């Protein structure tokens, strides 16, 4: 299989390899990583063909394009050696084609004269076709990688352009231009990456149990999936709750968002429901032969209990007879609002996994976001289920907390060891207040004190910094971050 | 709410989940609306084996829609058989058959705009407003 160079973006590093792998999975091609480093935007993979490379990369958000690798080396001498060695047989093919030659320096720059010299140094390849900076038939690029503040490159590659990535979608779905959003809408780029991880594709059925204004379903629909969603707050679906956009009034709803992007035909609709009392039909393990799963993928960003309360149906205190009777009499009134109570943060994670197990088809995927404090090892526990295999864990780090995109694959029944389903009933946080139930929330509003303390302990001079911080200007809740 | 949704939902009450009577939910006093949308053959093919056909027939009958065939169509039924000899290796665009179009009309274009969904086991009614069903349970049932 030929080697290809993927020009990645140098951000969301931990997502990049997982995304490429997912895209190869959804395209059903084999991908082999020859060279991948978190610090480098250049990744070398082995793929069966140009066509496969194009299929894989065209959906990618975290890369810019894919190139057939024509040579590589730590110096230009080595690079030229390698080009002659690997690709000399291909030169003749492009001998008379209109072509272009460009340079891509990572962490470095080259002025025009230098660029020209570098490009000229490849003249031995003998291209006689016209040079066209637009619509060239063959496009070549020299990639240089520099160390921080270094004067010369530490490594260089030559590649022939094969296909561009699907990163444009990031601009198309930019939240700034979306009609209807809320305070906790996931940015378009990561929502699209999430859809990639979950293998959204034409013909598949996807569901988001915490849809809000529909960001994830829209991202999945972009890749061709048919989508539906639900939320415990019907106002966010019907759009009567207003929008987070400044000055925006009037009716904007999830349907309208799909309309904005011309994806209405992929929107199956939404309903109001609570995950802990879901209306979805659940696989009954006693008669699993008769009714299997039906969702191809579940994508979600559950409320973290910070900007959006983590609430489920129920009352804080057990209702007495009279109260129950009142609910029974009143629930059909038009203005009736069912009571809701704060819920355990760890319990909801396990509930999502259990729900996914009961509704996903075999090999269906669950991609879910979960926040965690950076200071606490206890929080690093990734929820697991015997019927789900962890495919990838990607981390987006903020200052004092991070959030992770966890992707699971629904195992086939035959892969699940017998008796694995009879797992121990877990003990969850007890209490009625949000803080008692949600350790992450508690830490968040305490400003991650533990983290601060640990960070300041090593040196004494930090006392000054502490004073600075206590002014309150940069309190944790003021920090710009996407805490849900 | 598109009728396909009814293929996936039961009563939200935990005590009803194990009862066969809780599936499907029965639409009552329903205002139907047909909203035309593009036919998605790949989706129909994918979803076909996941449909609970008998229950789907029950729903269409209750809504007074034209009856569905008593046995579910196969994936092959959804595609028009190519006429004559198809050139070797030529991958022609598949065309949706009348069966596929009918199924698309029922599942994806027929929607419940207003009305109720009733559980056959406990009798609880879920309201559908502006095409959005509300499955939240009242305080005394959680």
DSSP string, A56-107: HHTT-SSEEEEEEEEEEESSHHHHHHHHHHHHHHHHGGGSSS-EEEEEEEES
Residue (of A185, A170, A178) closest to A256 by Cα position: A178
Q: Given a cut of 50, is residue A479 above it in pLDDT?
A: no
For residue B141, being part of any structural domain is answered with: no
Number of Cα atoms under 13 Å in the Cβ half of residue A320: 1
For residue B140, being part of any structural domain is answered with: no
Contact: A281, B10; criterion CB under 8 Å: yes
Residue (of A347, A394, A348) closest to A367 by Cα position: A394
Measured between alpha carbons, how far is A355 from A359 in angstroms, rounded to an integer? 6
Where do the domains of chain A lie? 3-167, 170-415
Most confident stretch, A22-36, A290-304, A411-425: A22-36
Contact: B8, A280; criterion CB under 8 Å: yes
- With beta carbons under 8 A apart, name residues in chain B contacting A229: none
Write out the residue range of the structural domain in which residue B7 sits: 3-81+90-135
- With beta carbons under 8 A apart, name residues in chain B contacting A277: 12-14, 135-137, 142
Measured between alpha carbons, how far is A301 from A321 in angstroms, rounded to an integer? 37
DSSP label at B92?
Answer: P
Contact: B12, A278; criterion CB under 8 Å: yes
**H helices then E strands: how many in chain A?**
15, 16
Measured between alpha carbons, how far is A47 from A31 in angstroms, rounded to an integer? 5
Choice between A274 and A291, residue whose per-residue pLDDT is larger: A274
Q: Given a cut of 70, is residue A287 above it in pLDDT?
A: no
Q: How confident is the model at residue A243 (pLDDT cuts 50, 70, 90)?
A: low
For residue B52, the domain's CATH number is 2.20.25.10
**Residues A384, A390, A396, CA angle at the centre, nearest 5°?**
100
Q: Given a cut of 90, is residue A285 above it in pLDDT?
A: no
What ipTM describes this predicted complex? Answer: 0.94
For residue B9, being part of any structural domain is answered with: yes
Buried b (16+ CB within 10 A) or exposed e, A191-217: bbbbbbbbbbbebbbbbbbbbbbbbbb
Could you give the number of structural domains in chain B? 1
**What percent of chain A is predicted at pLDDT more than 70?**
87
Å between A266 CA and nearest CA of chain B: 9
pLDDT at A103: 96
Residue (of A200, A250, A484) closest to A365 by Cα position: A200
Residue (of A300, A301, A299, A228) closest to A263 by Cα position: A228
**A3-167, CATH topology level:** VC0802-like (3.30.2130)
Nearest C-alpha in A relative to B38: A265
Å between A43 CA and nearest CA of chain B: 34
Tell me the residues of chain A between 358 and 417 that have a Cβ less than 8 Å away from chain B: 361
Contact: B50, A294; criterion CB under 8 Å: yes
Tell me the residues of chain A between 325 and 344 that have a Cβ less than 8 Å away from chain B: 325, 327-328, 330-332, 336, 338-339
B126 forms bridges with which residues in the sheet? B117
As a whole number of Å, the end-to-end CA separation of chain B is 24
A357-400 pLDDT tens trace: 999 999 999 999 998 887 765 556 889 999 999 999 999 998 88
Q: Given a cut of 80, is residue A190 above it in pLDDT?
A: yes
Q: How confident is the model at residue A443 (pLDDT cuts 50, 70, 90)?
A: confident
pLDDT at A475: 40
Q: Tell me the backbone φ, ψ of residue B44, rounded to 5 degrees.
A: -60, -40
Q: Which residue has the tokens 């999430």?
A: A194
For the domain covering A170-415, report its CATH number: 3.40.50.150
Q: Where are the alpha helices (DSSP H) in A92-182?
A: 112-120, 169-172
Q: How many CB atoms lie within 10 A of CB A128?
A: 9
Average pLDDT over residues A26-31: 96
Q: Given a cut of 90, is residue A481 above it in pLDDT?
A: no
Q: How confident is the model at residue B40 (pLDDT cuts 50, 70, 90)?
A: very high
DSSP H or E stretch at residue A469: helix A462-469
Q: How confident is the model at residue A160 (pLDDT cuts 50, 70, 90)?
A: very high
């Amino acid at each position: 299989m030929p080697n290809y160079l993927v020009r990645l973006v140098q951000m969301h590093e931990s997502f990049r390899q997982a995304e490429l792998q997912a895209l190869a999975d959804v395209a059903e091609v084999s991908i082999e990583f020859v060279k991948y480093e978190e610090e480098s935007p250049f990744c070398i993979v082995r793929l069966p063909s140009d066509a496969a490379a194009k299929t894989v990369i065209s959906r990618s958000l975290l890369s810019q394009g894919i190139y057939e690798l024509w040579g590589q080396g730590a110096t230009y001498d080595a690079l030229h050696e390698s080009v002659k060695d690997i690709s000399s047989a291909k030169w003749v093919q492009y001998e008379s084609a209109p072509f272009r030659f460009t340079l891509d320096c990572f962490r470095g720059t080259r002025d025009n004269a230098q660029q020209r010299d570098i490009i000229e140094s490849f003249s031995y390849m003998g291209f006689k076709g016209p040079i066209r900076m637009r619509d060239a038939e063959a496009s070549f690029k020299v990639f240089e990688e520099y160390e921080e503040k270094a004067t010369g490159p530490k490594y260089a590659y030559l590649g022939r352009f094969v296909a561009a990535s699907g990163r444009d979608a990031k601009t198309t779905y930019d939240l700034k231009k979306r009609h209807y959003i809320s305070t906790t809408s996931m940015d378009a780029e990561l929502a699209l990456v999430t859809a990639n991880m979950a293998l959204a594709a034409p013909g598949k059925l996807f569901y988001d149990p915490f849809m809000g204004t529909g960001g994830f379903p829209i991202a999945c629909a972009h890749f061709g999936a048919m989508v539906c969603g639900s939320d415990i707050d019907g106002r966010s679906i019907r759009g009567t709750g207003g929008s987070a956009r400044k000055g925006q009034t009037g009716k904007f709803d999830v349907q309208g968002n799909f309309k904005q992007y011309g994806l209405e035909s992929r929107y199956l609709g939404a309903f109001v429901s609570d995950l802990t009392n879901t209306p979805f039909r659940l696989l009954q393990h006693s008669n699993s032969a008769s009714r299997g799963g039906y969702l191809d993928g579940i994508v979600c960003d559950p409320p973290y209990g910070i900007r959006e309360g983590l609430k489920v149906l129920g009352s804080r205190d057990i209702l007495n007879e009279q109260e129950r009777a009142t609910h029974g009499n009143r629930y059909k009134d038009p203005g009736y609002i069912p009571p809701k109570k704060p819920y355990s943060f760890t319990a909801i994670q396990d509930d999502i996994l259990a729900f996914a197990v009961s509704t996903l088809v075999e090999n269906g995927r669950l991609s879910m976001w979960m926040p965690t404090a950076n200071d606490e090892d206890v929080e690093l526990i990734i929820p697991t289920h015997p019927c789900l295999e962890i495919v990838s864990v990607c981390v987006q780090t903020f200052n004092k907390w991070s959030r992770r995109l966890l992707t699971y694959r629904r195992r086939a029944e035959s892969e699940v060891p017998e008796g694995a389903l009879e797992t121990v009933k877990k003990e969850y946080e007890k209490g009625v207040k949000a803080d008692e139930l949600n350790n992450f929330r508690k830490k968040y509003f305490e400003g991650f004190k533990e983290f601060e303390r640990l960070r300041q302990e090593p040196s004494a001079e930090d006392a000054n910094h502490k004073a600075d911080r206590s002014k309150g200007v940069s309190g944790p809740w003021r920090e710009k971050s996407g805490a849900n | 709410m598109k009728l396909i949704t009814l293929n996936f939902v039961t009563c939200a009450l935990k005590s009803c989940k194990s009862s066969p009577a809780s599936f499907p939910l029965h639409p009552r006093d329903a205002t139907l609306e047909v909203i035309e949308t593009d036919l998605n053959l790949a989706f129909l093919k994918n979803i076909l084996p996941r449909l609970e056909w008998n229950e789907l027939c029950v729903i269409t009958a209750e809504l007074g829609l034209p009856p569905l065939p008593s046995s579910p169509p196969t994936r092959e039924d959804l595609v028009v058989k190519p006429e004559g000899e198809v050139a070797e290796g030529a991958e022609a665009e598949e065309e949706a058959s009348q069966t596929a179009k009918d199924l698309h009309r029922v599942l994806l274009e027929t929607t419940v705009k207003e009305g109720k969904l009733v559980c056959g086991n406990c009798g609880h009614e879920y309201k559908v407003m502006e095409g959005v069903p509300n499955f939240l349970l009242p305080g005394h049932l959680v």
